[in-house]
Amino acid sequence: MRHSSDSPVVSVVVPCLNPGRLLRPTLDSIFGQDYPNIECIVVDAGSTDGTQQILESYGDRLRWISRKDRGPYDAINDGWAMSCGEVLAWLNADDTWTTPSAVTFAVNYLTDHPDVDVVYGDCGGIDLNDRLVWYGPAPEWNFETALVTCDPLINQAASFMRRDAVEKAGWLYPEWCHDHDLWLRMALSGAKLAAVRTYLGNARISSENAHMNPSLTVPNKVGLTKRILDDPRLSPELRSQRRRIMSNAYVRCLDFLPKPAHWPIGIRLVLQALASSPTNAPHILTQVAVHIAWLVPTLRPLLRKRWGHGITLQPNRPVPNDLVRHLTTGIGT
């Protein structure tokens, strides 16, 4: 751990469970930062794959504990409770920060903008071989969009938060989709969230990721939407759109059905979406057509450009970061 009295402590928590070889790139991206005041805490859920030996090899550069939990939300909350940072972040055990100046940039931004509670930037998607295969420019934060379309807008790996704003919101809710839920609750608590068009983080893209498990993602996407709609702080205008918002939440869950075996779930979701708001049928049918067209590989780049939040890059070719910056300049949602 590096500490300096001249700058605020940034506490980053890494939750993990049997991350294998992907843990080292995550930790190396943390310890490769040029920011002098980083506190790294790893909370392991009882790995049996040699993770603890990897953690021991980093010596006193990090703190770590190992114990059973219900999911990464428990690990992150516990890690933050152990931490002392004024600025908080978390990286999943296969995420990375990008350049060595990513943390410096985020801290400088928060220092220069004392009214901002969360700063988040562009995020890349990397495959299991660390190749950049997707790039998501940071869209401007809009609470209504995040709720009505059931889209978190923020990629967690590229985000940094003030501790007092997280505490005011009440930490992470103990269910999956905890990042989406946190952004919404922070906004309801009065936090200001700001996007910057700077490449700050990478998230791992893999069909094996937990968020692609519909038994986890589908009920929790729907659940967090219901919780926010029941929040007394929500405006009457948004509360009046409940049926359409719930319909959109069911449709959004189609994004998390990666295998043909999940199609029966998709049919159920479409029927729930139609039952929630029959007048939402044009949007529902459009999204069904998009998901069917996604099965045709040659159509995917067009779909990303029209309906996605980023661009898909060639998965078999590494793309230099400066080229990515050139390709994505000006691309929004």
> φ and ψ at 199, to 5 degrees?
-80, 105
Q: Which structural domains are found in the chain, ordered by start?
A: 10-204 (3.90.550.10), 210-293 (no CATH)
**Hey, is 202 helix, strand or coil?**
strand
Tell me the pLDDT tens digit for each residue of 66-122. 999 999 999 999 999 999 999 999 999 999 999 999 999 999 999 999 999 999 999
For the ranges 132-146, 208-222, 254-268, the lowest mean pLDDT is seen at 208-222
Q: State in Å, rounded, how far the first CA of the chain is from the last one.
A: 37
Residue 34 reports pLDDT greater than 60: yes
Count CB neighbours of 287 within 10 A.
19
Query: pLDDT value at position 242?
Result: 98
Neighbouring residues of 14: CB distance < 8 A, sequence distance ≥ 6: 23, 26, 27, 30, 40, 41, 42, 43, 79, 90, 91, 92, 93
Query: pLDDT value at position 201?
Result: 97
Query: pLDDT value at position 322?
Result: 44
- CB-based contact 194:86 (threshold 8 Å): no
Residue 321 reports pLDDT greater than 60: no
Query: pLDDT value at position 293?
Result: 77
Q: Is residue 5 very low, low, confident or very high in pLDDT (cuts 50, 70, 90)?
A: low
Query: pLDDT value at position 292?
Result: 82
